[in-house]
Amino acid sequence: MNSRSPQSAGTQKLRVLGVDPAVIGAIGYGVIQTEGSRAICMRFGALKLPRQLTFAFRLREIHLLISGLVEQFQPDAVAVESVFTSLNMRTALKLAEMRGVVLLAAAQAQIPAHSYSPREIKASVAGFGGASKQQIQQMVRSLLHMDVIPEPADASDALAVALCHAQAARSRERLAAAAAPRSTRPSALRSALEAPPSAFQD
C-alpha cells in the first residue's frame, strides 16, 4: 500500500493516527485531521482483549487493528507513546514489543512513525507534563471540538498522542517557513511534514 500523496502537505492538512499501547488494559487509538490550527476527530476507540489470550495473539490483534486503521484512513503519520523508563524490565519489554507491531504496520504502509514520551504528550496537550488523565481528557475534548469527553481514557490518551504530533509538525512548518528563502517556502513546508521517522530515536 502506498502512503498518501505529498500534495496533502501543500494544503497544510495533516492526518495522524495516534496509538497508546498498554500491556495491561486496552490499547487506545485515535485518528485526527488538522488544517492550520484547527483539528477534528475522525475516529477513536480502544481494543480490549481477554486476559487469557497469549501475548503472541495480542500482538497479532494489535497489528491487525493498526493495519486496518491505516488502510481505512490513510494517515500521513503514525504517532505512538514511548516506553516508560520507570517500568520494570519485563513490562517494558512487552510494551516495546507492542510498539514494535505498531511501527511494523506503519512501515508496511510506508507511513512515517513518530514517538513521544508521556511528559511530552501531556505538556503539548495540557501545558504541563504532570497533567492528570482527567485533565488530558478535558483538553482533548476542547482541542478537537468534541461534544463529549472521549472515553475510555485509553482512547483519549491516543488522541492526545496524535495531537502532540500534529503540534510538533506545525512547529516544524513554522520554523521551516521562517528559515527558508521566500521562493522555496512551499517546498520547505512539505519537507517539514515529511520529516524522517523518529520512532527509533527515543
The CATH number given to whatever domain includes residue 50 is 3.30.420.10
Residue 112 resides in a domain: yes
Per cent of the chain over pLDDT 70 is: 81
Residue 42 resides in a domain: yes
pTM: predicted TM-score of the whole model, two decimal places: 0.81
What residues act catalytically? 20, 81, 154
186 falls in which pLDDT band (50, 70, 90)? Answer: low
Residue 102 resides in a domain: yes
For 82, the domain range is 7-164
Residue 57 resides in a domain: yes
Residue 175 resides in a domain: no
Render the burial of 32-66: b for 16+ CB within 10 Å, e for the rest. Answer: bbbeeeebebbebbbbeeeeeeeeeebbeebbebb
Which three-class secondary structure state does DSSP give residue 47?
Answer: strand
- pLDDT (tens digit per residue) in 130-155: 899 899 999 999 999 999 999 999 99
Residue 86 resides in a domain: yes
Looking at the predicted structure, is the pLDDT value of residue 158 above 90? Answer: yes
Q: Pick the closest to residue 120 from 81, 92, 178, 153 (CA basis).
A: 81
Residue 34 resides in a domain: yes
Instruction: Give how many domains the chain has, as a whole number.
Output: 1
Question: Among the listed ranges 1-5, 13-17, 27-31, 186-190, which one has the minimum average pLDDT value?
Answer: 1-5
> Judging by beta carbons within 10 Å of its beta carbon (0-12, 13-18, 19+), is residue 164 exposed, middle or buried?
buried
Residue 199 resides in a domain: no
Q: Are strands 113-116 and 77-81 parallel, antiparallel or unpaired?
A: parallel
